Amino acid sequence: MNTQVQQLNGKWKLIIALLLLNVLSVSAQISGNQVYGKNNYNGNNYNQESLPNNSKVSINDNVLSVSVKILLNKKADGFVMTLGLNEEDETVAGCSKKITARITGFIEKMKSLGVKKENVYIDFISQTKIYDFEVNGMNSEQIEKGFEIKKNIIVSTSNVTSLEKIIALASDFEIHDVIKVEYYNNETDAIHNSLFDEALVLAEAKKIRYMKAFGKRIIGTPTATEEFATVFPKTQYNTYQAFETAEIQTNYNNRSPYLKKIARKNKTFYYDGISSAGFDKVINPNQTEVGIQYVMTITMHYKIDTSI
């Protein structure tokens, strides 16, 4: 009877300890044109080294510490895409009429792709005056030229194949700015709970193995810390430029001026998700579709009976 009471008390203590866990959430969106705004890939991407190393086990006379690290690659359940557009005219009314016509036409056409009106939101961004210069001989004067209105169209869809179709359709209405695309999963709590349970099973197996190997026995109840990271694609994009260039030999004795034009070099962006190396378990390791990655790390500390 006393053993059952001790076990019950131990379970409650473990539950209380786990409620005090430190939960880490790394959130962002997948790449749209916003990827051009990133100044430093290494400063923005998810740092795989920030969490405890996998398979880390330490044991001394008093405590056994076991760390478990799990990676889940999961496809997104839905997407939210933001498109930007603007319109200029001599009057505000003219701007408003033109931009409304483009947006209305675009929304109507998207119905053919299964995008309902309630899945579209129009975000009014700005209404500003436009200025230009009028040149008279040697003088120039700044004048009002008209107005500009900017709006964003936010579209949600659960079909990944419809994203490119929506972008192509938007170009028919001179909507070319794909600002960003966000990925999301519907039941993140269920994902967290599933990974948590899986980590506890792996930690228990490690504990049993090491206790058997060293002939030790656990006493009391364990303590635990948890780190749970949700990693969205945007932070995991990298970039590079691959090219060779020639050198120009300058003749300093020649005073004739010249203009050196540097050719445009193509810049490549690619998805560089969290590597599967260094994890106790990887779920969906061969997933090719870009999605959301989840990292669960649990570290358990067990007290060792030193009387043996």
pLDDT tens for the chain, 308 residues long, are 444 434 444 444 444 344 333 333 333 334 555 455 554 433 345 555 444 444 566 666 688 899 999 999 999 999 999 999 999 999 999 999 999 999 999 999 999 999 999 999 999 999 999 998 888 878 888 888 999 999 999 999 998 889 999 999 999 999 999 999 999 999 999 999 999 999 999 999 999 998 888 888 888 899 999 999 999 998 888 888 877 766 666 655 666 666 677 777 888 888 899 998 889 999 999 999 999 999 999 999 999 888 76
* Residue 175 to residue 165: CA distance in whole angstroms: 13
The Cβ-side half-sphere exposure at 200, using a 13 Å CA radius, reads 12
Distance CA 292, CA 233 (A): 6
Q: Distance (Å, rounded) from C-alpha 106 to C-alpha 142?
A: 36
Q: Which domains, ranges and CATH numbers included, belong to the chain?
A: 2-76+186-304 (no CATH), 78-184 (3.30.70.2970)
C-alpha distances (whole Å) from 103 to each of 32, 153, 174 are 20, 8, 10
Strands, E assignment, the chain: 57-59, 63-74, 78-89, 120-136, 139-157, 177-184, 218-231, 237-240, 268-271, 281-283, 292-304
Nearest to 59 by CA among 305, 280, 298: 305
Residue carrying the six token digits 């109840």: 221
